Amino acid sequence: MAVTWTIPSMDRDLKSGDHENIITTIHWRASDEDADGNTGSSYGSVGVTLVGTPTPYADISEDMAIGWAKDALGADEVKSIEDNIASQISAMKTPTTASGVSW
């Protein structure tokens, strides 16, 4: 299993100094599924401050945005998110609680 990261949306400043369309916030989703169809996921947002010459908005790929989001989160937080998703999947395999009615 490998966690899949996606970027459903990004917020940007339309004009910032001499630059246009500067990414300020990346909304991310991380998810995984095992062979039995058990799933886990997490969603969040992270503010970013990109340094250097901005990448033109039209040239930003999802892979670039995922990298920026993970960098902003930091390696420990990325690991925590991915570990939590694995725990969700494990809990689905061996549930410890249930809900419903007896009739």
More reliable by pLDDT, 95 or 103 = 103
Residue 22: its H or E element: strand 19-33
Rg value, the chain, Cα: 18
pLDDT of residue 64: 95
CA-based nearest residue to 11, from 56, 60, 48:
48
What pLDDT, in 10s, does the model give residues 13-45? Answer: 998 888 889 899 999 999 999 999 999 999 999
What pLDDT, in 10s, does the model give residues 39-70? Answer: 999 999 999 987 788 888 999 999 999 999 99
Q: What is the pTM of this model?
A: 0.88
pLDDT band at 79 (very low <50, low <70, confident <90, very high): very high
pLDDT of residue 46: 97
